[in-house]
């Protein structure tokens, strides 16, 4: 196998090649992180899958958890022919999914990096919640990964058109798929998001069927799936976040169920997730209109005449307040700098 053969099906491209160049001159080689276990990393390199350790240079330069290697990251490493590799640098990310750790205004958590498609899975049972979907979409649009809304457990639902309409009202231009991982309905259509060069991650509450979907795509029962308790609440069946390499090329990341999604920096994500409000806002009298009591506010006008739903507006206000309060508390911590997280294409979408 030539050196290029293992990387391209895993998502490597000219952008990473260019970022690697200065490190390659020092004899470092590329690897992709599949699992993070405390300070240890599992990576895939020309050698196959093996252990690696984050070098002191990265740890010393890291200002925030965002600066540490995460699942999906491409890194530059010293890779001996056997034994543990040493990671020297994190290559700039194409996309990065970050949420805020609950209860801590200063703690971001990187869920995964270099994701092409983010499958936002909801169950068409008691799990369905458009307000939660708005959060997931905001997180996705901010991340630079493309969100795909997957409404699973269609077999349990007796009013699909209703849920489809509810979803369309909040999904802007993200594609929506109605599927059943149990009876196979709609699963073929998901194949377009998976394959050579693509990295596809699954996100959603516990018990919505993420691992069941991953097993279907893999064609083998690799991921353990769980039964639901009698109260309909899922227990966390998947406990580790791991990048799985597909035999035919491409990668999947199954995630443990998220209990809640709190937003980290997501100003742009919010503009996109609420593009109906963003579009209305262009018609406000003041360019810095907050859409509250300002005269000539087109958003308030749309609320008054019913073209904008109250709960949609309230959901937007809630997320905006969350982002604001986090930013306000950030300002009093001088060493916290707003850093450019995504190297390529971040502003170009
Ligand atoms: N009826 C029905 N049940 C499903 C469907 N998909 C998954 N399930 C069931 O839902 C339960 C939870 O599925 P998992 O795939 O383990 O859910 P998960 O999202 O991976 O859960 P965590 O790993 O805890 O985050 C299992 O009992 C599955 O068999 C579906 O389309 N219809
Ligand atoms: Mg799971
Ligand atoms: Zn306004």
Spell out the SS3 assignment of 158-205: CCHHHHHHHHHCCCCCCCEEECCCCCCCCCHHHHHHCCCCCEEEEECC
Paired with 54 in beta bridges are 87
Residue 338 binned pLDDT confidence (cut-offs 50, 70, 90): very low
CATH of 3-90, one of 3.40.50.1370, 2.40.50.140, 1.10.10.60, 1.10.3720.10: 2.40.50.140
Q: 153: Cβ below 6 Å to ligand 1?
A: yes
Instruction: Please state the rounded mean pLDDT for residues 212-240.
Output: 72
Q: How far is the CA of 229 from the centre of ligand 1 (A)?
A: 12
Name the residue of 128, 207, 224, 239 whose CB sits within 8 Å of the most ligand 1 atoms, as the mutation to test its pocket.
207
CATH architecture of the domain covering 96-101+113-254: 3-Layer(aba) Sandwich (3.40)
The finding on whether 72 has its CB within 6 A of some atom of ligand 1 is: no
| Percentage of the chain exceeding pLDDT 70 | 90
Reported CATH class of domain 274-331: mainly alpha
Q: What are 3-30's pLDDT values in tens digits?
A: 558 999 999 999 999 999 999 999 999 9
Residue pair 255/315 in contact (Cβ under 8 Å)? The answer is: no
Residues 275/172, Cβ–Cβ less than 8 Å: yes
Residue 294 pLDDT:
93
Three-state DSSP at 22 gives helix
Report the DSSP beta bridge partners of residue 298: none
Distance from residue 117's CA to the centre of ligand 1 (Å)? 20
Distance 256 CA to ligand 1 centre (A): 12
Q: Among 120, 112, 67, which residue's Cα sits nearest to residue 94?
A: 112
Q: Kindly give the distance from the C-alpha atom of residue 178 to the centroid of ligand 2, in angstroms, as a whole number.
A: 19
Place of tokens 């506010």: 297
CA of 207 to the centre of ligand 2 (A): 7
Which of 158, 181, 205, 259 best tests ligand 1's pocket when mutated (most atoms within 8 Å of CB)? 181
Tokens encoding 117: 């498609």
Residue nearest to atom 7 of ligand 1 (CA): 209
Mean pLDDT of the chain: 89
Least confident residue range of 52-66, 106-120, 320-334: 320-334
| Ligand 1 contacts CB of residue 257 (under 6 A) | yes
Whether the CB-CB separation of 204 and 258 falls below 8 Å is answered with yes
pLDDT tens sequence across 81-134: 999 999 999 999 999 999 988 777 788 899 999 999 999 999 998 889 999 999
Reported confidence tier of residue 235, pLDDT bands at 50, 70, 90: low
- Name the closest ligand to CA 293: 3
The string of pLDDT tens digits covering residues 146-159 is 999 999 999 999 99
Q: How many of the other CB atoms lie within 10 Å of CB of 139?
A: 28
Q: Cα–Cα distance between 191 and 159 in angstroms, integer?
A: 25
Domain boundaries, the chain: 3-90, 96-101+113-254, 274-331
Predicted local confidence at residue 136, as pLDDT: 96
């Amino acid at each position: 196998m030539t050196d290029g053969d293992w990387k391209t099906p895993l998502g490597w491209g000219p952008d990473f090649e260019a970022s690697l160049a200065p490190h390659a001159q020092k004899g470092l080689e590329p690897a992709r992180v599949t699992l993070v276990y405390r300070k240890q990393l599992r990576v895939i390199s020309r050698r196959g899958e093996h252990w690696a350790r984050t070098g002191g240079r990265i740890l010393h330069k890291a200002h925030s958890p965002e600066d540490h290697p995460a699942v999906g990251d491409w890194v530059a490493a010293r890779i001996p022919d056997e034994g543990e590799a040493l990671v020297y640098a994190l290559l700039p990310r194409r996309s990065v999914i970050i949420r805020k750790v609950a209860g801590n205004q200063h703690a971001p958590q990187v869920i995964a990096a270099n994701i092409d498609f983010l499958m936002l899975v909801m169950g068409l049972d008691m799990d369905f919640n458009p307000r939660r979907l708005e959060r997931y979409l905001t997180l996705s649009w901010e991340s630079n990964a493309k969100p795909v809304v997957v409404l699973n457990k269609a077999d349990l639902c007796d009013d699909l058109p209703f849920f489809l309409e509810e979803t369309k009202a909040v999904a802007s231009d993200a594609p929506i798929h109605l599927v059943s991982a149990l009876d196979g309905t709609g699963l073929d259509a998901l194949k377009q998001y998976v394959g050579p060069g693509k990295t596809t991650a699954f996100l959603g509450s516990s018990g919505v069927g993420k691992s069941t979907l991953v097993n279907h795509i893999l064609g083998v029962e690799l991921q353990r799936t769980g039964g639901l308790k009698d109260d309909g609440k899922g227990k966390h069946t998947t406990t580790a976040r791991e990048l799985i390499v597909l035999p035919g090329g491409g990668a999947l990341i199954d995630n443990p169920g998220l209990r809640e999604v709190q937003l980290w920096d997501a100003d742009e994500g919010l503009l996109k997730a609420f593009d109906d409000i963003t579009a209305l806002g262009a018609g406000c009298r003041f360019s810095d209109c907050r859409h509250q009591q300002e005269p000539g506010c087109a958003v308030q006008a749309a609320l008054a005449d019913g073209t904008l739903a109250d709960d949609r507006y309230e959901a937007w206000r809630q997320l905006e307040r969350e982002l604001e309060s986090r930013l306000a508390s950030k300002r009093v911590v001088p060493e916290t700098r707003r850093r450019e997280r995504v190297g390529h294409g971040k502003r170009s979408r």
